[in-house]
Structure 1
């Protein structure tokens, strides 16, 4: 069942941008590292070593910044321009995670912005494509749409 086209009102994004970023960053980095440990995220971390990332959920107003070392993703904020920035509305990120849309389709439909290091962006896109997101199945098995 396809996810509905939901974009939060602009005023909600303004509120979201005022909230602390530490909790969502912690959850994202913890999830990525747990997936790494369990073999669910087939990442060669040497390729991400020293890289800085930004995930921008446009309609929610939340920007999550984190980095990576040769072993794991790191829960740290940084100053300056990220090596890779991925930006989309929350529903489009959900579509990627649930395999309803692939990153290429979202990018070419201008629903996913990818900025920064082209090679890093391609590696990250390929990594996203290769993951069998377990929580996508969790939502689908519960009839959440």
Structure 2
């Protein structure tokens, strides 16, 4: 098992008992924030108003239901995949994140079978084109939500990611001896 897979497995174990309400409240706030900051993306989604997208992070056991409305987008986290949807996209959390941020090509991920897609492909292409139309950096978008505390939150997030990476590398997060690597 690679360090990344071990980290995702640990994240899944940590997330599974937690209630989704705080995450869903954050997603409502974040969706509104993105709608205000990137109105061109929302306008590009008008042809798919009323469509429902189910995006499943297979390694986290978590799905996100994205619904397009007139001038808005809403996102809700759910723990099940059996939700009515016009489009279904499945893949690892990191593949989906990189796809969303435009760091990886969706076609390459699809043909390498890192993601799977089913349903209304025209709606999916409209979503993809809308997201590709603007450079959206999720980390900076999240940090800006904290207003005057954005700098502090950014530093704390950077430190947390660094600590997480060190724990994965040393094995402390898994009860391993120092220097013993995860997956050996």
TM over 0.5: yes
Q: Which residue among 94, 98, 114 is the counterpart of 1:111? A: 114
Alignment of 1:79-94 (within 5 A): 80-94=83-97
C-alpha RMSD of matched pairs (Å): 3.5
Q: Which runs of 5+ in 2 are unaligned?
A: 144-153, 163-184
Change over 3 Å in CA distance of 1:50–1:117 after alignment to 2: same
Which deviates more, 111-120 or 90-99? 90-99
Deviation at 1:48, TM superposition (A): 2.9
TM-score normalised according to structure 2 size: 0.58
Change over 3 Å in CA distance of 1:71–1:100 after alignment to 2: closer
- Counterpart for residue 131 of structure 1: 134
Deviation at 1:13, TM superposition (A): 4.3
| Larger relative helix fraction | 2
Deviation at 1:95, TM superposition (A): 1.9
Contact preservation (8 Å) 2:42, 2:71: no
- Counterpart for residue 58 of structure 1: 58
Change over 3 Å in CA distance of 1:62–1:86 after alignment to 2: same
Deviations 1:93-115 (A, max 9, x none): 23224433122221121112222
Q: C-alpha separation between the residues in 2 aligned to 1:99 and 1:5?
A: 23
Q: Which runs of 5+ in 1 are unaligned?
A: none
Higher relative contact order (CA 8 A, sep 6+): 1
Deviation at 1:18, TM superposition (A): 5.4
Return structure 1 stretches of 4+ with deviation > 4 angstroms.
Answer: 11-19, 75-80, 136-139, 142-145
Q: C-alpha separation between the residues in 1 aligned to 2:11 and 2:51?
A: 30
Aligned length: 139
SS at 1:87 equivalent:
strand
